[in-house]
Amino acid sequence: MVVVPLLLAGLSMLGPFSIDTPFPAFKRMGADLDVTSDRMQLVVSAYLLAFGLMSPFHGPLSDAVGRRPVILAGCTVFAVASVGCAFSTSLPMLLGFRVLQGLSAGGGVIVSRTVIRDVFDGPQAQRLMSRVMMIFGVAPAVAPIVGGLLLQAGPWPVIFWFLAGVGLLLVALVAVALPETHPAERRTPLAVRPLLGSLAEVSLNLAFHRVAWAAALGFGGQFLYIGSAPIFVVDLLGRGELDFWVFFVPMISGVMLGAWISGRAAGRVPGRRLVTWSMVLATGGAVLNVVLATLPTAAELPYAVVGPAVIAVGTAAAYPTLQLVLLDMFPRSRGAAVSMFTFFALLLNGLTVALVTPWVTHSVLTLALGSAVLVVAGQLCWAWHLRAMATPVPASRPEPSEPTECL
């Protein structure tokens, strides 16, 4: 019981480590590769967009062939791609291997969430999902700190050698400690039509979109800060390559607190009420963030990081329940459900980093306003879902039931 949550959290941490560990090296990488800091943001968006484009397929593949083969293959390719990043001598070469990292990382990140629902039900599943999220929440805080320390030991490629080692370590641990949780009798056929059919079933369901976008947009308000961390910490707050902790420690403390609240609420507070309260808290944090950003102390600590930390508490408290709701909408195609949710979420995050970040990182205030727009949009999607669930649905057009254990 202890080993599995740790391993699943480790697999989930592969994504944040891939994004955040290189942050402190951006200036050195830009100098060596002769590119500007704006173009270095492509190192983030290339990974996220590739992850998003591949994410619809990891889950259905695991529905067809089992969870372990997809996780093992993904982590192995990720390690190889990390080695390619370390050997890169130009930005196009680096971006190519970052794309390969993104295409492969979902094998562990996405499928590990499905494993939880394969094995556990109701409050127990929510508690385990919350526990995994607490461990996973440490990654974005630790990753840039690790990246900064690695830079003290060598040039920037050492960061990608470290990521390669992480990938290989996960391969070994999965091979030894993670049993197959999706038996052959429950698998879908390994054929194009059933795989695409399961994705279409999920994608065309309006209830899925309401819940998925509530989660994705709410987290997007938090991720806008994560994706723009090199600009926020270095340019707006005037800190150095070893100072990313001043932003990530408060934010990830918020994630861990929110996940703890979710775990404690499992079986005690109805899931729908927990999500509503949590998203109201996130919205309040976004409003507080905008207010603090208008003050003369906007770019000073702790004022600059309080709002993002409160947003993180709210989104993290809602996230485990929202994921379980999505998984239980499609009990025979859980892999497809988590894949499509991840696809929409990461596509949103990738586009946010690529298209929104350049427009909102001119000041602390514009960044706070951009974050608030995303959080409020997530709150509106959840309100829409609550209203739809309270409205009787005609018998000819039933929507998937949601788990009574969570809601």
Model confidence pLDDT, tens digit, residues 157-201: 999 999 999 999 999 999 988 888 888 777 877 777 877 888 888
Closest CA relative to residue 85, chosen from 45, 38, 54, 43: 43
Which residues in the chain land under pLDDT 70? 1-2, 136-137, 140-141, 392-407
189: alpha, beta or left, given left = phi > 0 and alpha = psi -120 to 50?
beta
Tell me which architecture the domain covering 3-390 has in CATH: Up-down Bundle (1.20)
Task: Please confirm whether the linkage preceding 302 is cis (ω < 30° from 0).
Answer: yes
pLDDT recorded at residue 41:
77
Closest of 201, 202, 267, 262 to residue 404, by C-alpha? 267
pLDDT of residue 201: 87
Q: Confirm if 13 and 169 have CB atoms less than 8 A apart.
A: no
Mean pLDDT score of the chain, rounded to an integer? 85
Closest-CA residue to 113 (of 338, 265, 263):
338
The pTM assigned to this predicted structure is: 0.72
According to the model, what pLDDT value does residue 67 have? 86
Length of the chain: 407
Q: How far apart are CA 124 and CA 118, in angstroms?
A: 12
Q: Output the DSSP codes for 322-370.
A: HHHHHHHH-TT-HHHHHHHHHHHHHHHHHHIIIIIHHHH-SSHHHHHHH
User: Six-digit token pair at 325?
Assistant: 């709701």
Q: What pLDDT, on a 0 to 100 scale, did the predictor assign at position 286?
A: 96
| Domain chopping of the chain, boundaries | 3-390
Question: How high is the pLDDT of residue 251?
Answer: 87
Q: What is the rounded distance in angstroms from the CA atom of residue 203 to the CA atom of residue 400?
A: 13
Residue 42, pLDDT score: 85
